[in-house]
Amino acid sequence: MKHLLWMLLAALVVMHQDYWQWDDATLVAGWLPQSLAYHAGISLAAAALWGMMLRYGWPHDVDEAAAEVDAANGSRRPEAGERRA
């Protein structure tokens, strides 16, 4: 799964370089320049990919290791909604 996520990221990087649309004055829906609509789509795709990377690509043992370090140091992380002193 991680390899697929990296390939999708590489594809987004390549697709972001939309040199073929620089001189295109076509309007989408009669008011939005085509290049701007394209970049809006790329931004939504990047946000979706970021969410997928956090969901499927984030190592699960990182949070456990951080909790162990905090326990060893005698500190704890605040719960949701709790303020730090």
Backbone angles phi, psi at 30, to 5 degrees: 80, 0
pLDDT recorded at residue 26: 87
**pLDDT at residue number 58:** 80
- Kindly give, in sequence order, each residue whose CB lies less than 8 Å from that of residue 34, ignoring residues fewer than 6 positions away: 21, 24, 25, 26, 27, 28
Q: Given this model, what pLDDT does residue 57 score?
A: 82
pTM for the whole structure: 0.65
CA-based nearest residue to 21, from 39, 7, 41: 39
**Mean pLDDT per segment of 10 residues, for the chain of length 85 residues?**
90 88 85 90 95 85 73 68 62
Q: Quick one: pLDDT at residue 24?
A: 82
The pLDDT score that the predictor gives to residue 65 is: 73
Say what the alpha-carbon torsion angle 65, 68, 72, 75 is, to the nearest 10 degrees: 100
pLDDT of residue 22: 79
Backbone φ, ψ for residue 28 (5° rounding): -95, 130
